[in-house]
């Protein structure tokens, strides 16, 4: 039996509320760190940033969406996790 080496699995990028001034900046920072460069598309193309900020200002939700080839999850504590989507 021949075992092939495990596929490389990228570690998700995690940004805590203490590392960013807002939920929006945390999303962009997490995706930028995951890509190694700033995303070419604006966040507005994926989600309404103002609505997202309002959502976290007035309550605690968990939101997941896709942005710049990443699955982005914002947890109730405002921690942002960005995972590269497989192609």
Query: Using 50, 70 and 90 to split pLDDT, how confident is the model at 6?
Result: very low
Range of the domain at 33: 13-84
Please give the Cα distance from 31 to 25 (Å, whole number).
10
Q: Name the 3-class secondary structure at 65.
A: strand
Q: What's the confidence (pLDDT) of residue 3?
A: 54
pTM: 0.83
Q: Is residue 56 one of the residues assigned to a domain? A: yes
Q: What's the confidence (pLDDT) of residue 86?
A: 84
Q: Is residue 5 one of the residues assigned to a domain? A: no
Residue 4 confidence (pLDDT) above 50: no
Q: What's the confidence (pLDDT) of residue 61?
A: 82
Beta bridge pairs of residue 15: 80
Q: What is the pLDDT of residues 35-80, one digit of tens each?
A: 899 999 999 999 999 988 888 877 678 999 999 999 999 999 889 9
Q: Is residue 8 one of the residues assigned to a domain? A: no
| 63 vs 2 pLDDT, higher one | 63
Please give the Cα distance from 48 to 46 (Å, whole number).
7
Q: Is residue 1 one of the residues assigned to a domain? A: no
């Amino acid at each position: 039996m021949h075992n092939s080496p495990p596929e490389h699995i990228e570690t998700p990028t995690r940004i805590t509320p203490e590392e960013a001034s807002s939920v929006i900046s945390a999303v962009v920072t997490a995706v930028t760190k995951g890509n190694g460069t700033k995303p070419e598309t604006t966040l507005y193309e994926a989600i309404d940033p103002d609505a997202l900020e309002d959502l976290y200002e007035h309550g605690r939700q968990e939101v997941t969406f896709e942005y710049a080839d990443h699955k982005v999850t914002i947890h109730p504590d405002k921690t942002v996790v960005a995972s590269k989507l497989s192609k």
